[in-house]
Structure 1
Amino acid sequence: MSTDVTKPPQDSEGFWKTRYTILVLSTLAMGISYATRVNISVAIVDMVNGTALREREAAEGTQLVRDPDACPGEQVVLEDPTGRKDGEFIWDKQMQGEILAGFYYGYTIGHIPGGVLADRFGGKVVLLVGIFVSSLLAVLTPQSAWAGYYVLFFNRLCQGLAQGGIIPAIQTTVCRWAPDHERSLFSIIFLGLFVGSLVSMAATGALCETVIGWPLSFYVFGAAGLLWSVSWFLQAADSPAQHPYIDPVERSYIEATINSAAKNGIISAIPHITGTAGSLAFVWFTNFLLRKEFVSRIWTFRIINALGTLVPGAALVVVALVGCDAATVIAMLALSGFCAADCTSSYLNMQIIAPNYAGTIVGIINMFANLTGIAVPYIVGAFTNANPTRTAWNNVFYLSAAVATVSYLLYAVFTTTDEQPWNMPPSERAQKADSKEGIENTAFDEGITQMADGDTTQQGHLKAIVP
């Protein structure tokens, strides 16, 4: 008597897979998007004429402020009297804050439409448009600045709008390309976030010191994004089935593993590497808890999110309390960065409740999350503009800790790990309903005559005749 054994899906031979190319390009996309986002934070120091600005403020009667709570050795005016005259633009702090915040106005608006478009049309075109447009605008940033403050603000707003769909598009790409057991590998994509920021801030300072000056930083990172766009256009696809060069064996392997995970309603642990040392540690810890099942899946998310939210908040409180203890302050900031880099549970939670709409969900959530990019400059300014002392900054730290605590409590109370009923497309729901046999609704019990022979359906229900 022979027994048929279903063989597990077989992957293609060879070390390098097509899906690894998608992984590398997506990681570079994340890095480039953050590089073009943050480089202006460094370049603006060379763009602004600090001395001329201070001279104007002095002529207008602005008083320099002394900090009575300054640490020993720092009893000096807060304004540096030795500013450089090499800047071209006389933008006060409010104008500088508006320029930096302009990106987040567009970025916040762009998330929901970006997520919907990614789920509807696939991640390739949304990611391509996001990187190409924002990179082109980065190249045009110097011209925008020379054209005027409002032109530069509009440029930054459009950059944010273009980048609003990048993370949703990457989320959609991961759901269509990553086999269930390789989701942790694909989470390396989010490492590009921190690497891009680090490289951008370090390189921008050096580029500003060249003969060309601060415009070179925008040219370099913008050009990198344009070159990436060519590679993505030629080598990427929305799914393995649409890729023209993929090995058919690999395509079948990916489709088989992803389909099996979706039909069982279970998504494997998807720890997201969202930082350097801290992120790697959280990825391992999350995966450890889910694999060993010491606690339930929902409590795993609550624990990880608590470490990533409450610990940084507590660290800020300690910074405010220790005052001039430099060693403790540095240690707390390091601890805060170690924990705050994690967003493992949040992204994993989103993919579990509705993998078919992962792009839309992350778009909505990131839209609200990036409202802070707009609100923070105004809130900090309200505390510190008129009174830029250590006491005022301590109030900012206390407020940040309170916001972190409240946000975590809301998450812990309302989070769920159940797949949502609206995750399944209507066509699949109808197909599933049509495939069911027998009558299971007790409302039809009366008037149903069971067949005398007791025959049953394939699903084990008694066949019935409805008069």
Structure 2
Amino acid sequence: RNCTVLCSCCRPDGDNMAIAAAAIPPSSRGLCVPQRYVLAFMGFLAIANGYIQRFCLSLAITEMVLPNDREESDKDDLVDLTACPYQNVNSSITDAIVHTSAQFDWSEQTQGLILSAVFWGYVLTQLPGGLLAERLGGKHVLGVGLLVSTLGTLLTPEVALLGPYYLVAVRFCIGLGQGVMYPSLNVMLAQWAPPQERGRLGAAVFAGAQIGNVVSMAVGGLLMRFTEGGWVNVFYVFGAAGLAWLALWEILCYSEPESHPFISDEEKQFLMTQSVGQLKRRKDLPPTPWRHIFSSVPLWGLIIAQVGHDWGLFTIITDLPKYMKSVMHFSIAQNGLLSAAPYLAMWIFAVFCGGIVDFLVSRKLSITLVRKMFISVAASGPAFGILAASYSGCDKVLVSVFFTIGMGLMGAFVPSLKVNALDLSPNYAGTLMALVGGIGAISGIITPYLVGLLTPNSTLLEWRLVFWIAVIVLVSTNIVYLLTGSAEVQPWNDPLALEDGRKPSIIPRKPSSQDKVSAHILESGAVAT
């Protein structure tokens, strides 16, 4: 019998029964839970936990740091005529009560340095993480990385008491752990995601970023408002969630279908017959074709698009809570919920776009055209929303609506920008994702510190300049991608064919003992797509 922990359908062994069962789409066989969907769900939770731990400080720091009191400036006639007023006394009293837990007198520049530190480490481990995942498998590389991130999160409250530069060091270590996250998951998706499901599975996994931001902001705000420990509890609760995920990850997920003890034979054969498109790892993987990779125009177009996307995204994720508090004067609970709304909208739109992308591809529309369409939506939508919000003045409703709509449209990047590395080279997806993500994450180093420099007094006019810079970067990098981007498999994806002068192709797996079953399935055309 072939019974699994997550699959209740059991059947007798035998070639004829295996062939008959494999002809039924694995995703619709009784009460079975296909393991590629389990992996997608756990990958979703991995990214959600990563983003929660990375950005929970963005909201918490508004309550950790003593408020910037501009009353003395006002007395010196340096009054900001565009400053938004507090709308009622009760909210000011509530904020004052919450601020009793604030104990750090850090300047805006110091806060920017702390918030950017995570990206210093994040950039450094992208490429090593991708290379390790391609050769060792993504499961343990990702697990170790998020273990480091989780421990750093749990230590944050104690380390912050030692001084800002100790906190910078811990945030740097959190970034080192999280740098392997996307490369590892891309390597695993190359093993587990059939081409016709790549848009949906990719959207499901990478949408964890948006849910992570929602939880980080909404739950973090409520924890700080309604629990006795205040901001300290944010790091303890989210650190504990990371430990729970690690335990499930080690039990349920494996780097490739061949090594998974719980997968059904039918699903394993389904994935093999769909030719997911990657080489077996370790000894079968040819040396990385660095020269061809670094001279690839489509890859550089993707990298530039990622830089623009990350600039807009990290500007909002890292600093929107500060804008909502210091400029719009929302209370901490309101700040958390309203800062979460754009990412909830982004997640909903990302899932919607994933289905649309798969539909368009199934209709034989050019994959390159589809990718460019959705990446353009993901760049122009936020540009409009950010700019409109910055010119909405002190209208809290309009500001919240425009930020939510604009950042919601950014969700189109998940089934386009985030899976484009898989299009270009399934065999070296981890390496490409490391390069793309690593260079793109440099935006995360620059933007928080730049915001700190440009907004020393946190005035509306200072923030408007920040938003204009984000708009220009988003639009200009998107234009570059439209001119240079592609979704075609690149010749260097198959180094052996490149050397022999053959037409580039996806390098196949070694033949297995189940080839007769696979051949029968292909001849019958019974495997659902």
TM-score clears 0.5: yes
Give the aligned residue type for 2:383. Answer: G
1:193 aligns with 2:215: no
Give the aligned residue type for 2:454. Answer: F
1:127 aligns with 2:142: yes
| Equivalent in the alignment of 1:68 | 81
Alpha-carbon distance change, 151 to 61 in structure 1, aligned in 2, over 3 angstroms: farther
Give the Å deviation of 1:9: 5.3
| Equivalent in the alignment of 2:290 | none
1:335 aligns with 2:405: yes
SS in 2 for 1:346: coil
Alpha-carbon distance change, 87 to 421 in structure 1, aligned in 2, over 3 angstroms: same
Give the Å deviation of 1:216: 2.2
Give the Å deviation of 1:355: 1.0
Give the Å deviation of 1:73: 8.2
- Higher RCO (CA < 8 A, seq sep 6+): 2
Select 1:358's aligned residue among 404, 429, 432: 429
| Unaligned 5+ runs, structure 2 | 1-18, 280-343, 503-529
Trace 1:224-263 onto structure 2 (pairs within 5 A). Answer: 224-259=241-276
Alpha-carbon distance change, 256 to 288 in structure 1, aligned in 2, over 3 angstroms: closer
| Equivalent in the alignment of 1:42 | 59
Say if 2:108 and 2:453, in contact at 8 Å, map to a contact too. no
Give the Å deviation of 1:62: 11
Give the Å deviation of 1:159: 0.2
Select 2:384's aligned residue among 314, 328, 332: 314
In 1: Cα distance, 2:50 partner to 2:173 partner: 13
Q: Percent identity?
A: 30
Alpha-carbon distance change, 152 to 321 in structure 1, aligned in 2, over 3 angstroms: closer
Greater C-alpha Rg:
1
1:299 aligns with 2:369: yes
SS in 2 for 1:202: helix
Say if 2:133 and 2:430, in contact at 8 Å, map to a contact too. yes
Give the Å deviation of 1:239: 0.4
SS in 1 for 2:102: coil
SS in 2 for 1:85: helix
Give the aligned residue type for 1:100. Answer: L
Trace 1:386-405 onto structure 2 (pairs within 5 A). Answer: 388-405=458-475
1:418 aligns with 2:488: yes
In 1: Cα distance, 2:277 partner to 2:153 partner: 42
RMSD in angstroms over aligned alpha carbons?
Answer: 3.4
In 1: Cα distance, 2:194 partner to 2:278 partner: 9
Say if 2:424 and 2:488, in contact at 8 Å, map to a contact too. yes
1:277 aligns with 2:348: yes
Give the Å deviation of 1:285: 3.5
Alpha-carbon distance change, 72 to 207 in structure 1, aligned in 2, over 3 angstroms: closer
Give the Å deviation of 1:22: 1.6
In 2: Cα distance, 1:64 partner to 1:354 partner: 60
Give the aligned residue type for 2:384. Answer: A
In 1: Cα distance, 2:173 partner to 2:253 partner: 25
Select 1:111's aligned residue among 126, 133, 145: 126
1:18 aligns with 2:18: no
Give the aligned residue type for 1:396. Answer: V
Give the aligned residue type for 1:66. Answer: V
| Equivalent in the alignment of 1:151 | 166
Give the aligned residue type for 2:474. Answer: A
Give the Å deviation of 1:342: 2.2
Give the aligned residue type for 2:422. Answer: Q
Alpha-carbon distance change, 345 to 182 in structure 1, aligned in 2, over 3 angstroms: closer
Cα-to-partner distance string for 1:160-194 (whole Å, 9 max, x where unaligned): 11100101111111110123333234221122211
In 1: Cα distance, 2:38 partner to 2:186 partner: 16
**What is the aligned residue count?**
409
In 2: Cα distance, 1:98 partner to 1:110 partner: 20
SS in 2 for 1:385: coil
Cα-to-partner distance string for 1:246-291 (whole Å, 9 max, x where unaligned): 22332222222135799xxxxxxxxxx9933322332243334333
In 2: Cα distance, 1:54 partner to 1:123 partner: 48
| Equivalent in the alignment of 2:230 | 213
In 2: Cα distance, 1:45 partner to 1:370 partner: 23
Say if 1:193 and 1:274, in contact at 8 Å, map to a contact too. no
Give the Å deviation of 1:134: 0.6
In 2: Cα distance, 1:261 partner to 1:103 partner: 32
Say if 2:199 and 2:419, in contact at 8 Å, map to a contact too. no
Give the Å deviation of 1:33: 0.8
Say if 2:345 and 2:407, in contact at 8 Å, map to a contact too. no
Alpha-carbon distance change, 398 to 290 in structure 1, aligned in 2, over 3 angstroms: same
Say if 1:308 and 1:341, in contact at 8 Å, map to a contact too. yes
Say if 2:48 and 2:211, in contact at 8 Å, map to a contact too. yes
Select 1:370's aligned residue among 432, 441, 461: 441
Say if 1:69 and 1:390, in contact at 8 Å, map to a contact too. yes
Q: Does 88-97 or 364-373 show the bigger shift?
A: 88-97
SS in 2 for 1:211: coil
| Unaligned 5+ runs, structure 1 | 1-5, 263-272, 434-467
Give the Å deviation of 1:320: 4.4
Give the Å deviation of 1:29: 0.8
Q: Does 337-346 or 253-262 show the bigger shift?
A: 253-262
Q: Does 191-200 or 155-164 show the bigger shift?
A: 191-200
In 1: Cα distance, 2:120 partner to 2:36 partner: 34
1:173 aligns with 2:192: no
Cα-to-partner distance string for 1:128-150 (whole Å, 9 max, x where unaligned): 11111111111111221123322
Say if 2:210 and 2:346, in contact at 8 Å, map to a contact too. yes
TM-score (norm 2): 0.69
Cα-to-partner distance string for 1:28-59 (whole Å, 9 max, x where unaligned): 11111111112122222332244xx759x96x
Give the Å deviation of 1:418: 2.4
In 2: Cα distance, 1:42 partner to 1:312 partner: 21
| Equivalent in the alignment of 2:328 | none
| Equivalent in the alignment of 2:14 | none
Say if 1:9 and 1:257, in contact at 8 Å, map to a contact too. no
